Structure 1
Amino acid sequence: MSQALTPAPILTHAEPLAHVPGPTGFWGVLRRPFVLDLRALALLRMATAAVMLLDLAIRSTDLEAHYANMGVLPLATLHAQVWSAYQFSLHAASGLWQAQAALFLLAAGLAGALLLGYHTRLATVASWVLLVSVQNRNPLIGQGGDDLLRMLLFWGMFLPWGRVWSRDARTRPAPARLDYFSAATVAYVVQIALLYWCTALLKNGPEWTQTGTALYYAFSLDQLLLPGGRLLYPHPDLLRGLTFATYYMELLLPFALFLPVGVRWWRWLVVGVLFGFHLGISVTLYVGLFFLINMASLLGLLPPGLLNWLAGRAAPHAARAAGWRMRLPAWHLPWRLRLERTREPSAGSRRLVRAGREAFVAVVLAYVCWWNLDDVAVLRPTGSLMVAPARWFGLLFRVDQHWGMFAPVVFKDDGWYIFDGTTAAGRHLDLNRAGAPTRYSKPAAVVSLFKNDRWRKYSENYLFVSNAWMRPYYCNYLLRIWHENPAHPPLTHLSIVYMKEVSLPDYQVAKPVREVLCECETELGEELEVD
């Protein structure tokens, strides 16, 4: 059974469509910073879904390597080394890459539905479940942007981000107002502020607060350096100024989100500065989708003036598209699975449901603030504010978060990998450079050795002594995929070598130190790890 998709009127005004006065007095002033435009929430929904699709596309290139038993983290090792009793993962139900592919296709379909605003609430909840699932399957490749993407979906479950500019909106009457306030809008704004506040508070090393050398050390990391950063690197005074500007921007700018006077102007400032900040990161440092996720997260703050302009620009295109009809299946789900409203509830039940939802969101927001306060350790000289038994909720629902980007100081153990394979004839080949003869000289662009940022993050975790258990799995995986190609000469030995080059102050260059992290030998076609 299908249902025709017909065009809906485009909302072009930020003022209420009908005269419905909002709260006045002290309460009205207090809630102003948390009132969001439904169209901004729709853009937030679409951007979140688009980033999820891009994330899935990147992850899907490593289905076997990162999510299957034949990869670098078999299920038995996952449960033995990095699993929590409170975690769940559908992706951990099978070690076959084919099962992972099916889950990835399902996640992509749900993200597409979220992008269109089709069964929006159901698509949001299911997308969140699958996102948590895939992140739990391999935490060794996660980064700070993953925490933010997860939280956007979590709060999105309680936001009306499918109320306008969506497939669902075409079958419902236009909203009486475009401005919207709830506990979920408070949670969204506070979450954005927490991200930047905690990022700054965790950067308590002297490089950020005293000497201003943090960006110098960040741009000294060849594993991260992009052409834009290479242009800035030779200018120490500029880097010092940018370091202090970054630190104080992250520490002070979020306060502008809570000012009840001139809200639209403060939002222009916050969104404009942070968009420019993350755009600058994207051309200077290799951080994967981190900058895109952060830019997407800001769209819910867009002020009505810009949204009016966008709606006006979109109106002619919508009019031209009015003649075509798209047919989508009208799924009639069992009542137990329905997350969208199918008929108008009574006034009493509506108030009861809203009160329950608002109370739940408020409790979770308080818990998230508690978690972050404990993480940054601002209010506790010793010990922890959050006792271990209280962490189960955060780990189960994945509202746990850590915003320690380049904190408390910048990582200084730079370098590059060499996968030194030895053939039966005694030749040495570097598997990290497509089997070229092994050379220990520094590559022109170290960052180009990584297939994507997931592999860069895995390689970073691979260095830590506490993660030494990872090393044999990676070594054997590299040997196996090398031998799967019949054109490759058989190897008798593989050494994973890290050429460690510590970042030094004042543009000094350290002599690289050869560190053998793991060695594998092959006998009769079988890989054996040898430390």
Structure 2
Amino acid sequence: MDSSALRATLRRGRTGLARRFGVDARALAALRVALGLLLLVDLALRSRDLVAFYTDAGVLPRAVLREQFGAIASLSIHALSGSAWFQAGLFLLAGAAAAALAAGYRTRLATAVSFVLLVSLHARNPVLLNGGDSLLRRLLFWGLFLPLGRRWSVDALRAGREPSAGGDGARPDRVAGIASAALLLQVVIVYTANALFKLRGDLWVEGEAILYVFGLDQLTTGLGDLLATYPTALRAFDRLWLGLLITSVGLVLLTGWARAAFAGLFAGMHLGMALTMQITVFPLISIAALLAFLPPVLWDAAAARVRESGVGRRVIAADVPAGIDRLLPERRIGAPPAAIARWARRARPPVVAGLLALVLLWNAATLGYVAMPDAVSESVDPEEYRWDMFAPEPRTTDGWYVVPGELASGERVDVFHRRPVRWSEPPDVAGSYRNVRWFKYMMDLRASAGAPIRPAFADYLCRQWNATHTVGVERLGLYYVEQPVRLEGPEPTNRVELLRYSCARNATVSG
């Protein structure tokens, strides 16, 4: 092969890799906006239980946090204080950073601040976390190495970069490199790992697993309860979802409209989960991650449709408002010197490549394919941080909590639900958990035999009751009423006692 033919082959290879592992700058902009908005929504939802989940007056005081999660607790800025005002301040700071991220204002700084505060928030109460939280952290992390603010941003407007990219009559604007590949591969890793875990069980292969998932009243919405009455449709969704997970590598192998359609199938399934199951913002985070896979041909078609509609060429990009120069100086505050910036650009690819290799190694360890060093496993066990949602088998036991407390008057009440003690199935099992974060916390509470978080929860209930009632609670019992999910026949219940606790030493009766 002569040199010209070799160069042509290498050029075609680079082009093929760029088409598969590159990300359109408009897709990155859409991802940035989605991440900023999701952070704001997540903060708003968490703020409802700011005292309960993130202060020393709540269910996980810092002393219990450090005892139960020593290594992880050290990552939390939120753990520097147990006061509500301190947590509220950090929530407001995180909200400001998320808003700046969505707007694309000093995007890299906003991304970094959002990532650090999100890691800190998650480390303050790891009991609440699910796979969506983990994916959100990773999307922000890889975003640190990508030009999220190149399009549709205040940064782009100030730099005079809007409009650009294919579909606007200019050259295509594709971001292709190790960082873009890492972002795309991270999403594929999530799906592939989950597929491998599901294939280790029988129910997913047999098409029965999703019947048990929708038999869990703890998780389903009204629409989910309705869908549960159509087992044939559920089995079809089981096979479709498992098939998508197994072939998820197609997200990077396909290009053009085929990739857009394949990503759309995943997004449709996640949207179905959001409508039928109470699993907080997890499905929306997954849909946001899929935005990175949308190819230039889709954005070009959308831009052409916008022009044809008469809305104008600059739908998102607009002239810089008068006076914004005073708010957005030409030189960014804290911008690094040119020499440091050049060094950072050169160092970025090998650093990102090393981080991607670590991610691949970590996920191989969660699947049991490789063993992590003992020093790592002793601090953080990969088995506890794996992409095994409803895998290898879904949970087949439903249930609810009853917390009978004995008051000083001799009366018995449920001090968690603040009602008379009732052991029968609630009319709305999911509603008995207050919200999805409480549900996740209570499920971990059930699995934490011998851990200090059970007495900490009981102590929280004692303090909460005694601070708001004239007749204090003296002792309480923590019970989980489990109910096996049976596809046919009655579903019996079984009371499981998790804890007996005396409130006497902490009892304070308000006047």
The TM-score range, normalised by the shorter chain, is 0.7 to 0.9
8 Å Cα contact 2:55-2:83 kept in structure 1:
yes
User: 1:71 maps to which residue?
Assistant: 58
User: 1:373 maps to which residue?
Assistant: 364
User: 1:246 maps to which residue?
Assistant: 241
User: 2:483 maps to which residue?
Assistant: 501
Deviation at 1:249?
1.2
- 1:237 maps to 2:236: no
User: 1:97 maps to which residue?
Assistant: 84
Q: Distance in 2 between matches of 1:63 and 1:248?
A: 40
CA deviation string 1:11-68 (max 9, x = no partner): xxxxxxxxxx9x8322222332012111110110010111111111111112221111
Distance 1:225 1:209, change over 3 A: closer
CA deviation string 1:418-437 (max 9, x = no partner): 1223333333222343x222
User: 1:10 maps to which residue?
Assistant: none
Give the residue type in structure 2 aligned to 1:470. Answer: I
8 Å Cα contact 2:158-2:328 kept in structure 1:
no
User: 1:5 maps to which residue?
Assistant: none
Query: For 2:452, what is the secondary structure of its paired residue?
Result: helix
Deviation at 1:445?
1.1
Deviation at 1:491?
2.4
How high is the TM-score relative to the length of structure 1?
Answer: 0.84
Deviation at 1:230?
1.2
Q: Distance in 1 between matches of 2:129 and 2:442?
A: 12
Q: Distance in 1 between matches of 2:348 and 2:118?
A: 22
CA deviation string 1:75-97 (max 9, x = no partner): 11111111217941111111112
Q: Distance in 2 between matches of 1:428 and 1:54?
A: 38
Mapping 1:17-416, distance limit 5 Å: 24-84=11-71, 87-174=74-161, 177-252=172-247, 254-259=248-253, 263-311=255-303, 313=306, 315=312, 318=315, 322=319, 325=322, 327=324, 330=327, 338=334, 340=335, 345=338, 352-377=343-368, 380=369, 384-389=370-375, 402-416=386-400
Mean CA deviation greater in 456-465 or 490-499: 490-499
Q: Distance in 1 between matches of 2:387 and 2:317?
A: 45
Distance 1:323 1:390, change over 3 A: closer
Query: For 1:406, what is the secondary structure of its paired residue?
Result: coil
Distance 1:333 1:106, change over 3 A: farther
Distance 1:232 1:304, change over 3 A: same
User: 1:17 maps to which residue?
Assistant: none
User: 1:423 maps to which residue?
Assistant: 407
Give the residue type in structure 2 aligned to 1:437. Answer: P
- 1:460 maps to 2:443: yes
Query: For 2:403, what is the secondary structure of its paired residue?
Result: strand
User: 1:436 maps to which residue?
Assistant: 419
Distance 1:459 1:390, change over 3 A: closer
Distance 1:521 1:269, change over 3 A: same
Deviation at 1:467?
5.4
2:463 to 480, 492, 499: 480
Query: For 2:344, what is the secondary structure of its paired residue?
Result: helix
8 Å Cα contact 1:193-1:257 kept in structure 2:
yes
Give the residue type in structure 2 aligned to 1:104. Answer: F
Q: Distance in 2 between matches of 1:519 and 1:407?
A: 32
Q: Distance in 2 between matches of 1:327 and 1:334?
A: 14
Query: For 1:203, what is the secondary structure of its paired residue?
Result: helix
Q: Distance in 1 between matches of 2:81 and 2:175?
A: 43
Mean CA deviation greater in 458-467 or 96-105: 458-467
Distance 1:426 1:330, change over 3 A: same
8 Å Cα contact 2:402-2:480 kept in structure 1:
yes
8 Å Cα contact 1:214-1:409 kept in structure 2:
yes
Task: Give RMSD over aligned pairs.
Answer: 3.1
Give the residue type in structure 1 aligned to 2:146. Answer: L
1:517 to 493, 498, 503: 498
Q: Distance in 2 between matches of 1:90 and 1:323?
A: 37
Q: Distance in 1 between matches of 2:373 and 2:284?
A: 34
Distance 1:524 1:142, change over 3 A: closer
Q: Distance in 1 between matches of 2:330 and 2:407?
A: 59
8 Å Cα contact 1:118-1:167 kept in structure 2:
yes
CA deviation string 1:128-163 (max 9, x = no partner): 111111111110000000110000000000010101
Distance 1:257 1:512, change over 3 A: same
CA deviation string 1:356-396 (max 9, x = no partner): 1011111111110111111112xx3xxx432234579x979
Q: Which has the higher contact order (CA 8 A, sep 6+)?
A: 1
Q: Distance in 2 between matches of 1:472 and 1:139?
A: 17
Deviation at 1:401?
5.0
Give the residue type in structure 1 aligned to 2:250. Answer: A
Q: Distance in 1 between matches of 2:276 and 2:316?
A: 41
Q: Distance in 2 between matches of 1:217 and 1:296?
A: 27
Mean CA deviation greater in 401-410 or 51-60: 401-410
Q: Distance in 1 between matches of 2:241 and 2:385?
A: 21
Give the residue type in structure 2 aligned to 1:422. Answer: E
Distance 1:353 1:37, change over 3 A: same
Q: Distance in 1 between matches of 2:320 and 2:122?
A: 42
Distance 1:351 1:490, change over 3 A: closer
Distance 1:85 1:48, change over 3 A: closer
8 Å Cα contact 2:128-2:440 kept in structure 1:
yes
Deviation at 1:507?
2.3
8 Å Cα contact 1:208-1:247 kept in structure 2:
no
8 Å Cα contact 2:132-2:281 kept in structure 1:
yes
8 Å Cα contact 1:257-1:266 kept in structure 2:
no
Deviation at 1:447?
0.4
CA deviation string 1:293-315 (max 9, x = no partner): 10111112222243235446364
Distance 1:126 1:293, change over 3 A: same
8 Å Cα contact 1:111-1:123 kept in structure 2:
yes
8 Å Cα contact 1:37-1:303 kept in structure 2:
yes
Distance 1:96 1:283, change over 3 A: same
Distance 1:82 1:180, change over 3 A: same
Deviation at 1:324?
5.1
How high is the TM-score relative to the length of structure 2?
Answer: 0.87
Mean CA deviation greater in 367-376 or 262-271: 262-271
